[in-house]
Structure 1
Amino acid sequence: MSAGDDAIEAAALWCVQLSEGELGEQEWRRFEAWLETPGHAGLFQDAAAVWQASGAVGDWPEVIALRTRALNRFGNAKQRRWPVASPGRLKWATGYAAALLLVVTVTLFWYGNRPRQYETGIGERQVAVLADGSHVSLDAVTAMKVRMKDEGRQVELVEGRAKFDVAKDPLRPFTVAAGDKLIVAVGTSFSVELIGGQVRVVLYEGQVEVRDRADTARVAGAAARRLVMRPGSELVGAVGSSEPAQLTRPDLSQSLSWEQGLVNFEGEPLASAVERMNRYSAKRIRIADPALGAIRVDGVYRAGDLDAFVEGITALHPVRQNTLGEEIILQGK
């Protein structure tokens, strides 16, 4: 069984366990840790949707055939192991069989509704038009997955940065999962970036709600942290941190400079500035001393012009460079 199949099975088993009653605190921690793995939240949502709509698909010939084969295999195996079934074993077997059927159905749904993937390489930018008419501008070294469904439009930002101009459709919310955050919109314009262990969301038009992804799976009434953003604001939150995300008021025109091939820094930590510059060039910058990563840098540079960036940094800060092949190493003076 592949890693993808294992994840599908785990999503189905979590769905079955949640349907049988509330989880204990330790089980919740395990469930939330599992959800934090990229891709797992989407698989769990699929499993939950299949569980709720299982009556609608139960008559599919493919499902009936898979279900019959699964039950036959399960029954034969358990008959060899337990010739005489006790009530406890029967209860366990019934629950396991239900989970197994859900795994089979989820697998069928998943392979029939696999997300569409978008990727850009070093120095590459791309504009994509989604099936609903929404426009997405992808920065360099960016990857995302898109699922278009009747009940909603789901995007997972795996790495990098993307700007979304969302087509209005009040009946189909547009969500972007990034790190441990879920951004929910209807028709609006915003960007999402994963950088330096942070999730950054800039809102240009409309309104979005930012949630913790784990809260979307909790039972009703559980404590939730949700924040409504207004146009002209930026949210910055550390992935996996219990500290609340911070809201600032950035220069919106500068925040969009990357779409014109420019990289703009205003009080940016050197570590994240280097990470951004490395998106645009095969030549790499590496910071030898982690303490240098906290230096705040300013300036506007052409994407891919690492030499000009390094020249500016070494001229204004106690930093020197050492070139080794295709790598520029920054060290303290």
Structure 2
Amino acid sequence: MASDRKRALLEAADWYTRIIEGDDPDLDGRFHDWLDADPLHAESWRDILRTGRSLARLEPTTSAQWVQGRAAPAGEARAAPPPRRRAGRRFSLSPSRLPFNGKRLLAGAAAACAVFAFAPDAIIWWQADQTSRAGEVRALALADGTKVDLGPASAIAIDYEGGRRNVRLLAGQAWFEVAHDPARPFRVESDNARVTVLGTGFDVRMTGGATDVSVAHGRVRLESLPDTKQTRELTAGEWASIAPDVRERHGAASVPLLGLWRRGELVARGETLGNVIEQIRPWYRGRILVLDSSLAAVPVTGIFKASDPLRAICNLVEPHGGRVATVTPWLIVVTKG
């Protein structure tokens, strides 16, 4: 369970902090009792230890994690095994030159990096009726027969009370195949847009403050929120994007290419490299940093396997002189070569 994983990571981070800071003579025994109590504890300890070491050195734990022109293959870097019982052995996890405040910062940073991958925004996930994990696509069936494919790292709230058919996209992306019911219009809302349909197949995505809508078949009405000043009807093969303080954009789309993300693929047609990476982010359980603005602005075209985010990023940036490095299991850094 994700909650058990998060709990184990938080406990491991707490042990990491105590070991760095403390001189408790009983710490060794109590730590190993905790470590042996659950296999998840050992796994979480390895994650915290690996992250802490990477942060302390400000470089990868092994040189194999930096590869010229491409990322190291997944699973290539090995974490150090958890420490085992040895009489009289003391821990040596923290850099001896770090001051006390620096040790606390290192421990806190290690905890934050590790927990980041397993702790989505609490407020959004508390509001949601259905959610998905990073890299996961979920197929859902609503009470009226409407089918929903929920994209990775996404969340929706469902309101079918009093004859309504309202869905709120709280995060990420979703594809809807709407059951026809003229008496009950189907509506999807995001932070800044509303889509109203009677029966259709369409895609709604929230990214970078914008709401993008693409229609595969049928017809929808797209309205800006909260003022509804921007309104547009879309039919099959059309798309539109609404963003705060930006004029609505729209255009034609190739219907066969719509919704390929449901198979883990992303289609880019003259989009900036940075925007495509934004679309890859939900497939990766961690952070992706692009450190060169000129590289991020390069226009790209192609189909990329988002379900394998590391490979997708390599294929995306290498033709344009980019380099990819995995610093921890939760951090990919993209630079200009």
What TM-score does the superposition give when structure 2 sets the normalisation length?
A: 0.58
CA distance, structure 2, for counterparts of residue 262 and residue 314 of structure 1: 16
SS at match of 1:278: helix
- The answer on 1:329 being equivalent to 2:306 is no
Aligned to 1:230: 235
Q: Is the 8 A contact 1:151 1:171 kept in 2?
A: no
The match for 2:150 among 138, 145, 157 is 138
Equivalences for 1:168-183 in 2 at 5 Å?
A: 168-183=180-195
- How far is 1:283 from its partner? 5.4
Give the secondary structure class of the aligned counterpart of 1:132.
coil
Q: Residues of 2 paired with 1:225 and 1:284: CA distance?
A: 34
| 1:259–1:304 CA distance, 2 compared to 1 (3 A) | closer
Asked if the contact 1:116/1:147 (under 8 Å) is kept, the reply is: no
Unaligned segments of structure 2, at least 5 residues = 1-125
* Equivalent-residue separation in structure 1 for 2:237 and 2:308 (angstroms): 29
Corresponding position of 1:153: 165
Aligned 8 A contact 1:129 1:135 in 2: yes
Per-residue CA shift, 1:102-160, capped at 9, x if unaligned?
Answer: xxxxxxxxxxxx98611001111111111111111111111010100334211110111
The one of 315, 318, 326 equivalent to 1:315 is 318
Paired residue type of 1:256: G
Mean alpha-carbon deviation: is it higher for 294-303 or for 167-176?
Answer: 294-303
User: What is the aligned counterpart of 2:268 among 265, 278, 284?
Assistant: 265
Provide, for residues 9-31 of structure 1, a one-character-per-residue CA deviation record: whole Å limited to 9, x for no partner.
xxxxxxxxxxxxxxxxxxxxxxx
Give yes or no for contact 1:195–1:272 (8 Å, CA) kept in 2.
no
Q: 1:197 offset after TM fit, Å?
A: 2.1
- The answer to whether the 8 A contact 1:115-1:146 is kept is no
Q: Secondary structure at the match of 1:259?
A: helix
Change (3 A) 1:307 1:180: closer
Structure 2 residue 301 is the aligned partner of structure 1 residue 295:
no
Letter in 2 for 1:331: T
CA contact (8 A) 2:236 2:255 kept: no
Mapped contact 1:271–1:294 kept (Cα < 8 A): yes
Shift of 1:319: 2.0
Q: For residue 140 of structure 1, what is the amino acid of its counterpart?
A: P
C-alpha spacing 1:166/1:207, structure 2 compared with 1 (3 Å): same
Checking the alignment, whether the CA contact within 8 Å between 1:115 and 1:147 is kept in structure 2 is no
Give SS of 2:129's match: strand
Change over 3 Å in CA distance of 1:116–1:320 after alignment to 2: closer
1-structure distance, mates of 2:335, 2:306: 22
Matches within 5 A, 1:95-174: 117-174=129-186
1:194 CA displacement: 0.4
Bigger mean CA deviation after superposition, 307-316 or 243-252: 307-316
* Structure-1-length-normalised TM-score: 0.59
Aligned mates of 1:139, 1:123 — CA distance in 2: 8
CA distance in 2, matches of 1:168, 1:320: 49
Secondary structure, aligned partner of 1:127: strand
- Aligned residue for 2:247? 244
User: Structure 2 CA distance, aligned partners of 1:272 and 1:179?
Assistant: 20
Report the residue type matching 1:179 in the other structure.
D
- Partners of 1:278 and 1:115 lie apart in 2 by 22
1:2-21 mapped onto 2 (5 Å cutoff): none
SS at match of 1:273: helix
| Secondary structure of the structure 1 residue equivalent to 2:226 | helix
> Secondary structure of the residue that 1:267 maps to in structure 2?
strand
Contact 1:207 1:228 in 2 (8 A): yes
Distance in 2, Cα, partners of 1:116 & 1:178: 13
Cα distance in 1 for residues equivalent to 2:298 and 2:139: 33
* Identity score, percent: 26
TM-fit CA distance, 1:260: 1.8
Moved more, 261-270 or 129-138: 261-270
1:286 paired residue among 286, 289, 301: 289
Corresponding residue SS for 1:307: helix
CA distance in 2, matches of 1:303, 1:321: 15
* Separation (CA, whole Å) in 2 of partners of 1:283 and 1:158: 20
